[in-house]
Amino acid sequence: MSSDKEFFVHSHALCESESIGKDTRVWAFAHILPGARLGAECNVCDHVFIENDVLIGDRVTLKCGVQVWDGITIEDDVFIGPNATFTNDLFPRSKVYPENFARTIIRNGASLGANSTILPGVTIGTNAMVGAGAVVTRSIPPNAIVVGNPAKIIGYVDAKPGSNGRESLQRSVIRGVVETSVKDVTLHTMHEVADIRGSLSVGEFERSVPFKTQRYFIVYDVPTAETRGEHAHRTCHQFLVAVKGCVHVVADDGKTREEFVLDKPNQGIYLPPMTWGIQYRYSNDAVLIVFASHYYDAADYIRNYDEFKSIIESAE
């Protein structure tokens, strides 16, 4: 470390930028161009190349063989795995440059696995995780886990499955209503009558469904790869039932995240206001009905997860 700088540059690295944060370390054969800006406590490993129009936050790890091109923003606490590849031009030609490079943003705490490829103009959400070798062609929501080519959501970080998911639904056959680890979210089993003529499930508003209902909507013909929901409501209550097929539901109160499987028409999940809800992994035949306590109001939706977290934290 030189006497006039608070960051370390290996003797075999080329660091042309002076905008490097305290205690950042740049290792052998890395090359950082003059316009790049890096925060504090970053680790830039061997053979990393960072272009000019690049903004990198604090405590970012760039493993060996990563190239960060113009138009890339990497926020705090991001991990970039070995040989992860960024792109910034959807239609590249030799010696032909776009007027502006697409802006790609990697949000706080996200991780990109080794050899993953990130197409230009996408946003990788807060705390999301991209699997090794995945090809990201569309923006990834917060906390999502994606794999494959093109990358598809297969789960959510820290969404607890198992005993509080499917097994809770089994226990609810006896108890009727089961509390979950997510604040005020409950799992319900409605009354079912089955005989030789078929089966019937019945529920009553303000009883089985624990609020007065003013609206319903039905979701169907959802491609398996698609994710719906991804929002919270300020005042609206919701009750979800998969009347056919199977749907995975993630409920998040800002501190605890849990995943549930709705796969029986006499089972439902209650999502109170200020619960971040996600529905994904729809089976091909899935039909989801949602009962809501209020008429549609666009202002009631919170569609940005960071805003949702901020509201939760400010209310404490």
- Segment 195-209 shows an average pLDDT of 88
Digit-coded pLDDT (tens) for 91-118: 889 999 888 888 999 999 999 999 999 9
Q: State what percent of residues in the chain have pLDDT above 90.
A: 78
pTM for the whole thing?
0.85
Give 136: exposed, middle or buried? Use CB within 10 Å, 0-12, 13-18, 19+: buried
Answer for the pair 296, 235: CB distance below 8 angstroms, yes or no.
no
Q: State what percent of residues in the chain have pLDDT above 70.
A: 94
Answer for the pair 145, 155: CB distance below 8 angstroms, yes or no.
yes
Question: For 175, which DSSP code?
Answer: H
Whether residue 172 is predicted with pLDDT greater than 80 in this model: the reply is no
Digit-coded pLDDT (tens) for 76-95: 999 999 999 999 998 889 99
Digit-coded pLDDT (tens) for 226-282: 888 999 999 999 999 999 999 999 999 999 999 999 999 999 999 999 999 999 999
Pick the CATH number of 1-157 from 2.160.10.10, 3.40.710.10, 2.60.40.10, 3.40.50.300: 2.160.10.10
Q: d(Cα 16, Cα 213) in Å, to the nearest integer?
A: 62
Listed by start position, the domains of the chain span: 1-157, 160-315
160-315: what CATH class? mainly beta
How confident is residue 4, by pLDDT bands cut at 50, 70 and 90? Answer: low
- Segment 120-141 shows an average pLDDT of 96
Residue 279 exposure: Cα atoms within 13 Å on the Cβ side: 26
**Would you say how long the chain is, in residues?**
316
**Element spanning 249, H or E:** strand 247-252
Whether residue 162 is predicted with pLDDT greater than 70 in this model: the reply is no
> Which entry of 47, 188, 191, 231 is annotated as an active-site residue?
231
Task: Give the pLDDT confidence score for residue 62 in this predicted structure.
Answer: 98
Answer for the pair 48, 17: CB distance below 8 angstroms, yes or no.
no
Whether residue 44 is predicted with pLDDT greater than 50 in this model: the reply is yes
Tokens representing 195? 């005989």
The answer to whether residue 231 is catalytic is: yes
Domains 1-157 and 160-315 share a fold: no
Give CA torsion, residues 54, 58, 59, 61, to 10 deg.
0
How confident is residue 3, by pLDDT bands cut at 50, 70 and 90? Answer: very low
